[in-house]
A = this chain, B = another copy of it.
Amino acid sequence: MILTVTPNVALDITYRVDRLIPGSSHRVRGVAERAGGKGINVARVLQALGHDTTILGFVGGASAATITDDLARAGLAHELIPVEGPTRRSVAVVDSGDGEATLFNEAGPAVPGTGWDRLRALLASRLPDAEGLVVAGSLPPGAGDDACARIVRLAAAHRVTVLVDTAGDALLQAAAAGADIVKPNSSELLAATGRSDVGAAALALRRRGAGAVVASLGEAGMTAFTSEGSWRAAPPTRVAGNPTGAGDAAAAALVAGAVAGTPWPERLRDAVALSAAAVARPTAGSVDLTVYRTFVHRVLVEEHHAAGLDR
């Protein structure tokens, strides 16, 4: 069983409009709602791959019932800790003309220290049954930068493989706490480390304590820096679609590969193919398994031999 923690759960609302014109009034043609946030998207992809998962996080306010109903309908096990403030909404307005999405992301509710205590207590009771743990997404307002790091240390104490996908100081502290894998996108990686080169930035995170650093490079694929070597993987062709959720699909592939003990080049190939499979689907958390199966044999994986890479 793989646990996923979503510190800042969202209610993802998608509005379809004829054409988005700033300053005007739009009739919403279609409304779709589903539970979102990176950790939940990772769990959806893991479920599609046949893994048992349990979703952990915080929920509150009027959206809480909508979120838990949606997860129950999808057959996704979840244990969500109630908080007082309302769960954030993330509204995506999709222009029916060009398919372009415009996003409005609320900040989410502050989680009090007692909420984090409850989350760690819950994790401590579930980690003995877990093979892997993913902590993914932004932190809610008021969270300490050590929130992910404390979860990493808890997982390490239970010898459970942990992958962290977050940004900023929380990313740095998760690396320092010894996360097995950190998976920022390249701009998050550069911003957190203050470097201008992905390899140098990954090296900095590994020197802090991260086991492996995997950075997504958008359409160019992904690059991994590990104790066994460094690789770059690129998709065979460009896939048209919605890139939101591509990183979450990659995180699902990486934690599944780590749990299975798959060699790194294969993990990375899987991650890139599954990212493409996510782009091919309009909603984050969904993957097109046909695209995945087609791509996985055609992803090009190359080993890095650059000087200065910490092998």
**B62, B91, B102, B104: which contacts A23 (Cβ < 8 A)?**
B102
Count of chain A residues with a beta carbon within 8 Å of a chain B beta carbon? 27
Query: Taking the full assembly, how many copies of this chain does it contain?
Result: 2
Is A65 on the interface with B (CB-CB < 8 A)? yes
Cα A101 to Cα B28 with chains together (Å): 16
User: A22 contacts the other chain (Cβ, under 8 Å)?
Assistant: yes
Asked whether A297 is an interface residue with its Cβ less than 8 Å from the other chain, the reply is no
Contacts of A27 in B (CB 8 A): 105, 107
Cβ-closest chain B residue relative to A65: B62
Q: Which of A55-112 contact B (CB under 8 A)?
A: 62-63, 65-66, 91, 93, 95, 100-107
Q: Bound state CA distance, A109 and B178, in angstroms?
A: 50
What are the residues of chain B within 8 A of A93 when measuring CB–CB?
104
Which residues of the partner chain B approach A259 to less than 8 Å between Cβ atoms? none
B103 near A17: Cβ-Cβ < 8 Å = no
Q: Please state if B26 and A104 are interface contacts (CB–CB under 8 Å).
A: yes
A104/B22 in contact, CB under 8 A: no
In the assembled complex, A24 has its CB within 8 A of some CB on chain B: yes
Determine if A104 and B15 form an interchain contact, defined as CB atoms under 8 angstroms apart.
Answer: yes
Q: What 10 A-B pairs have minimum CB-CB distances, sorted nearest first?
A: A25-B103, A23-B100, A62-B62, A28-B106, A26-B104, A20-B22, A62-B66, A22-B102, A15-B104, A28-B104
Q: Can you offer 24 A-B residue contacts whose CB atoms are under 8 A?
A: A15-B91, A15-B106, A17-B104, A20-B102, A21-B102, A22-B22, A22-B100, A22-B102, A23-B100, A23-B102, A24-B102, A25-B103, A25-B105, A26-B103, A26-B104, A26-B105, A27-B105, A27-B107, A28-B105, A28-B107, A31-B106, A62-B62, A62-B65, A91-B104
Which A residues have a C-beta under 8 Å from some C-beta of B?
Answer: 15, 17, 20-28, 31, 62-63, 65-66, 91, 93, 95, 100-107
